[in-house]
Amino acid sequence: MKIRFLGHASFLLDDGRSRLLTDPYLSGNPDAAVSPDEVQADYIFVSHGHGDHVGDTESIARRCGAVVIANVDLLRPLFGGKGIKTMGGNFGGWEELPFGRLKLVSAIHGSGVAGALASGAVIEMGGKKIYFAGDTALCADMMFLKEEDIDLALLPIGDFYTMGPEDAVRACKLICPKLVVPMHYNTFPVIAQDPEYFRTLCREAGFECRVMEIGGELEL
């Protein structure tokens, strides 16, 4: 199971057969590791409707024939009638997929689309369980993730729009992931953070944290 960080909240998860891309904010992000026409994906998970998460979803989905996965209330206004393959479940239900399954979970954050909620996702892929938080505040629902036995938690630490480093460590205490990777920081001046500070806080709390370089890869 390989995870490549493309920048901001975009990761490419690859189990050797299927590739799932999260929140592909690439052409708008000068620091992105790849351009939207370089990335290959079979599935694209979109956590919510803000521009730094929807990003290049439409063009990548069209070129690759990828299935866009998001909350159904978000999918219809954003991608309905565009000739793109979509799969829209809702909170708490597992969606079965060829690579495993995916469940939408709470995120405390605006979705940018009236009537739709922002979400995170628990993703089972390659025999591993990954929690992709999307944009969120610390929230009590995270305590339910502890029983999911999360191998990897991808958590925002940028502050201002989402949890900052201190709350992200409190999230770790609820989730108890085997490994945590910070995301959603340093892309814009208001979310400037030192990820090494977060790593130190994690270590002090007994959690393993890996700070990924943009374009870097880790194996689970």
Cα 114 → chain centroid: 21
Q: Which stretch binds Mn ion (CB under 5 A): 131-139, 169-177, 190-198, 204-212?
A: 131-139
Q: Tell whether residue 184 is a contact of Ni ion (CB under 5 A).
A: no
Q: For the chain, how big is the Rg over CA atoms in Å?
A: 16
* Residue closest to 145 by CA, chosen among 135, 133, 134: 133
- Give the residue, chosen from 50, 103, 184, 199, that forms a contact with Ni ion under the rule CB under 5 A: 50
Max Cα separation, the chain? 49
| C-alpha angle 149-185-7 in degrees, rounded to nearest 5 | 80
Q: Tell whether residue 159 is a contact of Ni ion (CB under 5 A).
A: no
Q: Tell whether residue 23 is a contact of Ni ion (CB under 5 A).
A: no
Q: Tell whether residue 52 is a contact of Mn ion (CB under 5 A).
A: yes
Q: Of 49 and 126, which has the nearer Cβ to Mn ion?
A: 49
Find where tokens 């944009």 sit.
Answer: 135
Smallest separation (angstroms) from Ni ion to the CB of 138: 15
d(CA 121, CA 134): 8
- Identify the DSSP state of 209: B
Region 135-174 residues binding Mn ion, contact defined as CB under 5 A: 135
**First-to-final CA distance of the chain:** 5
The three-state secondary structure class of 119 is: strand
Q: Tell whether residue 124 is a contact of Mn ion (CB under 5 A).
A: no
Region 126-145 residues binding Ni ion, contact defined as CB under 5 A: 135
Cα 63 → chain centroid: 21
Q: Of 52 and 124, which has the nearer Cβ to Mn ion?
A: 52
Smallest separation (angstroms) from Mn ion to the CB of 121: 15
73 contact, one of Mn ion, Ni ion, none, CB 5-8 Å limit per kind: none
Find where tokens 């490419």 sit.
Answer: 12
* Residue closest to 23 by CA, chosen among 138, 39, 175: 39
Q: Which stretch binds Mn ion (CB under 5 A): 52-60, 144-152, 166-174, 211-219?
A: 52-60
Residue with the shortest CB distance to Ni ion = 50
Smallest separation (angstroms) from Mn ion to the CB of 25: 8
Smallest separation (angstroms) from Ni ion to the CB of 1: 27
Binding site for Ni ion (CB under 5 A): 50, 135
Binding site for Mn ion (CB under 5 A): 52, 135
